Amino acid sequence: MSVEIIQERLDSYGCRTTLEEEQALREITQEIVLAALGRTDFFKCAGFQGGTCLRIFHGLNRFSEDMDFALAAPDPKFVLAPYLERVREELTIFDYQLEIDDRSKAGAAVQEAFVKDDSVGKLLRLGYRPRAGPLRKLRIKLEVDTNPPPGATYDMPVLDFPFPSAVRVFDLPSLFAGKIHALLCRSYLKGRDWYDFIWYTARRTPIRHALLGAALNQQGPWKGQAPTTDDAWCAEQLRAKIEEVDWAQARRDVQRFLKPRELPSLELWTREFFLQQAAKLRQAPR
């Protein structure tokens, strides 16, 4: 019966390729992981953030791989392992046979683990099962920032699959602050960052500047400088960043996370287009 619940959920995606089916199964698994964490005290001390959060709770129209969390307050003694064991127990009910690779190190600022499974796919009716060779192993990375910058605010929506579970998530202005920090400070090009940026700017999402300033002060080129940010400052810094981006490379990076009907929009990805998007920051509500 538990596998049938996953099958029904997978069928609702209307997948048309092997890749879409793999991505859908990963997202379904991510939701079960969140629900499992919701049955612990995890969300009393941590919040869900990043692209997967935006996808599951706000309908971002791209798939995501990792699950990113941050503690509400720094705690160098935080241990992820007990929560991973609860996740294993919960997913066993749904016929997963999890392999958990906990790479966390005591005292590390980021606790990191991988959840892997190659069993549940064998029990499902997959319309695009590979013609040759085994199914690819399902792999989800979990990260918890144990030394987060202050300033985030939260929402507490209820996830209704596979069962009702309350999940503390960063609110949209806090999520956008995290994305701006990534755009300005990430040392490599990630096209998904810019896809998400379009999503935020199209909705005139305000930026939680208290969180952004604290994050910039903690990590990146402005570390230790206590920068004071506002929308105009962000727009100006992003303009400089946009001038440097290889947009062909950015398009290649993001396309595997999109459904075919989304791909034509990537033709708009040019320097001029993103400069126009950055200018919308000045128009966001305060």
Please indicate, yes or no, whether residues 56 and 87 belong to a single structural domain of this protein.
Answer: yes
Please indicate, yes or no, whether residues 187 and 151 belong to a single structural domain of this protein.
Answer: no
Number of other CB atoms surrounding residue 132 within 10 Å: 4
Domain that residue 89 falls in: 2-170
| CA 177 to centroid of chain Cα atoms | 14
Please indicate, yes or no, whether residues 205 and 160 belong to a single structural domain of this protein.
Answer: no
CB 239 within 8 A of CB 280: no
Domain boundary among the residues 119, 149, 170 is at 170
Does residue 286 carry a pLDDT above 80?
no
Task: Give strand pairing partners of 154.
Answer: 170
Please indicate, yes or no, whether residues 240 and 111 belong to a single structural domain of this protein.
Answer: no
Confidence of residue 133 (pLDDT cuts 50, 70, 90): low
Of all residues in the chain, the percent with pLDDT exceeding 90 is 80
Q: For the chain, what is the mean pLDDT?
A: 93
Please indicate, yes or no, whether residues 155 and 228 belong to a single structural domain of this protein.
Answer: no
Please indicate, yes or no, whether residues 17 and 143 belong to a single structural domain of this protein.
Answer: yes
N residues, the chain: 286
Does residue 279 carry a pLDDT above 80?
yes
How many domains is the chain partitioned into structurally? Answer: 2
Q: Six-digit token pair at 141?
A: 């990375």
Please indicate, yes or no, whether residues 177 and 78 belong to a single structural domain of this protein.
Answer: no
Please indicate, yes or no, whether residues 108 and 235 belong to a single structural domain of this protein.
Answer: no
Please indicate, yes or no, whether residues 157 and 35 belong to a single structural domain of this protein.
Answer: yes
pLDDT tens by residue, 220-258 = 999 999 999 999 999 999 999 999 999 999 999 999 999
pLDDT at position 105, please? 87
Domain boundary among the residues 144, 170, 196 is at 170
Please indicate, yes or no, whether residues 160 and 66 belong to a single structural domain of this protein.
Answer: yes
pLDDT tens by residue, 12-39 = 998 888 888 889 999 999 999 999 999 9
DSSP symbols for the chain = -HHHHHHHHHHHT---SHHHHHHHHHHHHHHHHHHHHHTTTHHHHEEEEHHHHHHHHH--SS----EEEEESS--TT---HHHHHHHHHHHHHTT---EEEE---TT-SEEEEEEEESSHHHHS--TT--SSSPPPPEEEEEEEESSPPS---EE--EE-SSS-EE--EE-HHHHHHHHHHHHHH-SS--HHHHHHHHHHHHTTPPP-HHHHHHHHHHSSTTTTS-----HHHHHHHHHHHHHH--HHHHHHHHHTTS-GGGGGGGGG-SHHHHHHHHHGGGGS--
CATH of the domain at 117: 3.10.450.620
157 prior amide bond cis, ω within 30: no
pLDDT at position 107, please? 80
Please indicate, yes or no, whether residues 145 and 248 belong to a single structural domain of this protein.
Answer: no
Domain boundary among the residues 136, 154, 170 is at 170
Please indicate, yes or no, whether residues 143 and 200 belong to a single structural domain of this protein.
Answer: no
> Residues 107-130: what's their mean pLDDT?
84
